[in-house]
A and B are shown apart, each in its own frame.
Chain A
Amino acid sequence: MYTLKFHEDMCAACETHDCLVKCQHMNIDLDTAKIQMENIIKNRDSFVLHDCVTCYACEEYCPNGNHPFYLIVTRQEEHKLFPLPDPIITRGIQVGIPFRGDPDITEMSGPVLNMGVFSSLTRRVKSRLFEGLPIMSEDPRKMFHYFCQLMYLHYGKTSVINDRLEKTIQTIAAHKATEIIHFHDECYGTYTSYASAFGIDVPFKSIHLFEYLYNRLLELKDEIKPLNYTVAYQRPCSSRLSSDKHAYVSKIFDLIGVTEGKRKYVDENAMCCGSTIFSQKKEGSRKYCDNIQKLNIDDMKNANAQICVFNCPACMETIGKAVGKAGIMPLFMSDLCRLAIGEKIK
């Protein structure tokens, strides 16, 4: 059984406790944060375990690269303080069960694009941006074999991740690709952050989609026509696990000639899409989720955004329609880049 490598001393010595103090969803001062973190570390009850909306952000806020979020969800499970109602957890766990045959394992050399559980978006990568890249998990019937499992952090169920992840890693590794570009940022976070925090061995190198896109755009630089849009970026929860790659967002925007409107919910202060908050057990969760979505979209409008750029398909699914209704075009980052090199998108 894998266990979290959490450095208690580092946390005890921390002077900021940014993990909780900066939390957008709980109002916690420094003294309270210290006490609550200690409670959590010592495996005592804490209101944080009850009230955490599982937005992942504390992973990024932690100045020490410790893993407060992984610790919180691990404790939620130990204390059976699951944020979601039981049937929603069962449903979520069952979603990830592959049921339509084994994947076809073909050996792939060089860098490979992994669609994870978003095989249905494969048509979006039929682009010169991804030219020459073999694609892993193209078949929606088999996609759960490539499921990174990280979504169970929202369920307070690290045990499910730890049970299943090794098998997914083996499936991916069986293709023998050495470098893997993950279409979904959450997969990248799994293999680069979660796995190492829990001591799970990953025998391939992961490349962040935005890093890949940036480098590919550099290769196609002569073909880029500046788009001249004002955009807003919907930063997903999983990007908190790879904050070192977040800089690629601005680098790509600069390269393709779009400007980020001035926003309140940006970078560290980005607002979660709420994809699991609406169904949490805590009273008022649905309304709370509605409210943060509204604040987020209003903020995009105030920034005069013409396009909302999505990284994560789940965010797109959750607020894409509402963003569209607000008169802002929802687009995946990869699609925005395709526009910049003159490709048409549907």
Chain B
Amino acid sequence: MSSILNKLIAVVGEDYASNRQEELFTYSKDLGTAPPQWPEYVVAPKTDKEIQKIVLLANEEKVPIVPLGGGMTLAGLALPLKGGIIIDLKRLDKIIEVNPESRYMVVEAGISNGKVTAHLHNHYPRLMHSEPGAPPAATIGGNLAIHGQGDLAHPYGFNSDMVNGMEVILPTGEMIQLGSCAVGSGWYSMQPLPDLKFFSGWNGTTGIITKVSLKLFPNKKFRDNDLFVVENEELVPEILYELTHLGMTEDLISSSAAIPPLMNKLHHISINIAGDYEEEIEFKRHMVFDVALSKFIRSGTGGIGNLAGEWPRPQVSKSSDWKKGGGFEYVGAIIPVSLYPECYRQGARISEQHDIPYTILGRVIGCSHAMMFSWSYAFNRADEETVKHARQALHETDDLVMNLNGTIWKPAVYGQRLMMDRMNKNTLELMGKIKTLLDPNGIMNPGNWEVNR
């Protein structure tokens, strides 16, 4: 048995470290188009102390480590591009504290969004966190590591804006704390200490997030998912502007897809309305449909597609199915809302060129401050030709995002390079310095954000 494996077993026990092919196989793939990348070891620690030991071991051995949460990012971000050890964080899933009065909860970062939602639902029904539309196995840490967004993105922004504090194990093994917890004052605020936010958006290349204080928000008793439909994509930004001005809704998502036919060339704006009382819901509905959107209805350019649909959280995309074989990957971009129409048109064009039914979606972030726009490409895993087409379409979409002056979100390596090529040189240099400072041995998820290439 290899000495690294022995040392890993010494840290976590025999059941939680492995270099067996059948186990490595599972970790060599993700759900997207990335070709398999095999790790040499996989280890599943239970505590932050164990993580520290593993990180120290990796430094000694100069072997890469790749943190893995739910592995749901699709873009190959948690695949071991340079081999090494996958650190599967799913066992790091304790709920440490819930503070209902100050509306936060402290969790270990490997906890799944599903578990957080279930816990709040069962024990604190008046509280919720911003859950991404990903399958519930997606973890809190993984989502923060890529600046994810959830179903409270419109009122409150990116999920990484909804953090009151963090504990991180640095690539050199030290544990640091960010926010009020750093001065031992509890986990209620990220401000006012000097900013040291070097961990969100870094894809696990600067440290392993181990604890998070998540902001919680009022969870109203009733939640309606209403639909407003328009044919002319140019109207979508205006409608979203009206709705964000009104400020009475939660999640706002506009989507369009070639399949099913009912969505084809139409834009379905999903509007979440929440209220503790029927009267509250009805008042909000009145303000949304009879006031804010009334002019579109009366002119016949927009209409109510559905009222009072109750959809379970999270609202996971079903677009993976259309090519059979269950594969899909998407390019996400953070764009100004005004770019929605062009992003839709160009996305439909790229999809058509690759014979993939188009699927696009834009989620409002903040008060129409930005939008996460995604272009999904379905493929049949068992048909290499369709995988190639999807991969090519993804690259073309990355190029498109740059041409439209968007910013690629959770870019795969191809997109990371495009962004770094365009990046302000001094910013890039600073990223490089930070990376070298934090990770002198270059062991953290190498291949991603290779600023010092």
A residues near B (Cβ < 8 Å) are 82, 84-88, 90-91, 94-95, 97, 99, 278-279, 281, 283-287, 290, 321
- Is B304 touching A90 in the complex (CB atoms < 8 A)? no
Q: Does B301 contact A (CB under 8 A)?
A: yes
Interface size on B, residues (CB 8 A): 28
In whole Å, how far is B224's beta carbon from the nearest beta carbon of chain A?
11
Residue from A85, A90, A94 whose CB has the most chain B CB atoms within 10 Å: A85
A87 to B290, CA, bound (A): 18
Give the contacting residue for B266; candidates A87, A279, A290; CB below 8 A: A87
Chain B residues with Cβ below 8 Å from A281 are: 297-298, 300, 303
B residues near A (Cβ < 8 Å) are 229-231, 259-266, 282, 285-286, 289-290, 294, 296-298, 300-305, 307-308
- Is B264 touching A84 in the complex (CB atoms < 8 A)? no
Chain A residues with Cβ below 8 Å from B300 are: 82, 85-86, 281
Q: Across the two chains, which residue of chain B brings its CB closest to A84?
A: B303
Residue from A90, A283, A284 whose CB has the most chain B CB atoms within 10 Å: A90
Chain A residues with Cβ below 8 Å from B260 are: 99
Q: What is the total of A-B residue contacts with beta carbons within 8 Å?
A: 67
14 residue pairs from A and B, CB less than 8 Å apart = A82-B300, A86-B303, A87-B231, A87-B302, A88-B304, A90-B231, A91-B229, A91-B266, A91-B305, A99-B260, A279-B304, A281-B303, A283-B298, A287-B286
A283 to B286, CA, bound (A): 12
In whole Å, how far is B297's beta carbon from the nearest beta carbon of chain A?
6
Residue from B230, B263, B300 whose CB has the most chain A CB atoms within 10 Å: B300
A290 to B289, CA, bound (A): 13
Q: Across the two chains, which residue of chain A brings its CB closest to B231?
A: A87
- Is A88 touching B259 in the complex (CB atoms < 8 A)? no
CB within 8 Å for A94 and B262 given contacts A87-B230, A279-B303, A286-B304: yes
A307 to B296, CA, bound (A): 39
CB within 8 Å for A283 and B294 given contacts A86-B300, A87-B229, A87-B301: yes
Chain A residues with Cβ below 8 Å from B301 are: 85-87
A331 to B330, CA, bound (A): 42
A315 to B49, CA, bound (A): 59
Chain A residues with Cβ below 8 Å from B265 are: 90
12 further A-B pairs in the complex, CB-CB below 8 A; given A85-B303, A95-B262, A279-B297: A85-B296, A86-B231, A86-B300, A87-B301, A88-B305, A90-B266, A91-B305, A94-B263, A94-B264, A99-B261, A284-B290, A287-B286
Give the contacting residue for B302; candidates A85, A99, A284; CB below 8 A: A85
CB within 8 Å for A99 and B259 given contacts A85-B297, A88-B229, A287-B290: yes
Q: Across the two chains, which residue of chain A brings its CB closest to B286?
A: A287
In whole Å, how far is A83's beta carbon from the nearest beta carbon of chain B?
10
Chain B residues with Cβ below 8 Å from A283 are: 294, 298
In whole Å, how far is B68's beta carbon from the nearest beta carbon of chain A?
36
In whole Å, how far is A260's beta carbon from the nearest beta carbon of chain B?
28
In whole Å, how far is A80's beta carbon from the nearest beta carbon of chain B?
10
Residue from B262, B290, B296, B301 whose CB has the most chain A CB atoms within 10 Å: B262
A94 to B261, CA, bound (A): 5
In whole Å, how far is A167's beta carbon from the nearest beta carbon of chain B?
16
Q: Across the two chains, which residue of chain B brings its CB closest to A89?
A: B303
A286 to B304, CA, bound (A): 9
CB within 8 Å for A94 and B307 given contacts A87-B229, A87-B230, A286-B289: no
In whole Å, how far is B286's beta carbon from the nearest beta carbon of chain A?
8
- Is A94 touching B231 in the complex (CB atoms < 8 A)? no
In whole Å, how far is B340's beta carbon from the nearest beta carbon of chain A?
16
Chain A residues with Cβ below 8 Å from B290 are: 284, 286-287
Chain B residues with Cβ below 8 Å from A321 are: 308
A279 to B290, CA, bound (A): 11
CB within 8 Å for A278 and B261 given contacts A87-B229, A91-B266, A94-B266: no
A278 to B230, CA, bound (A): 16
6 pairs of A and B residues whose beta carbons are closest in the complex: A85-B303, A88-B303, A279-B304, A97-B261, A87-B231, A87-B229
Q: Across the two chains, which residue of chain A brings its CB closest to B308?
A: A321
A186 to B369, CA, bound (A): 47
A285 to B297, CA, bound (A): 10
A11 to B305, CA, bound (A): 36
Q: Across the two chains, which residue of chain B brings its CB closest to A86?
A: B300
In whole Å, how far is A300's beta carbon from the nearest beta carbon of chain B?
18
- Is B297 touching A91 in the complex (CB atoms < 8 A)? no
A286 to B265, CA, bound (A): 25
Q: Across the two chains, which residue of chain A brings its CB closest to B307?
A: A278
- Is B302 touching A91 in the complex (CB atoms < 8 A)? no
In whole Å, how far is B377's beta carbon from the nearest beta carbon of chain A?
19
Chain B residues with Cβ below 8 Å from A94 are: 261-264, 266
A278 to B282, CA, bound (A): 13
In whole Å, how far is B66's beta carbon from the nearest beta carbon of chain A?
39
Chain A residues with Cβ below 8 Å from B307 are: 278, 286
- Is A91 touching B262 in the complex (CB atoms < 8 A)? yes
Chain A residues with Cβ below 8 Å from B262 are: 91, 94-95
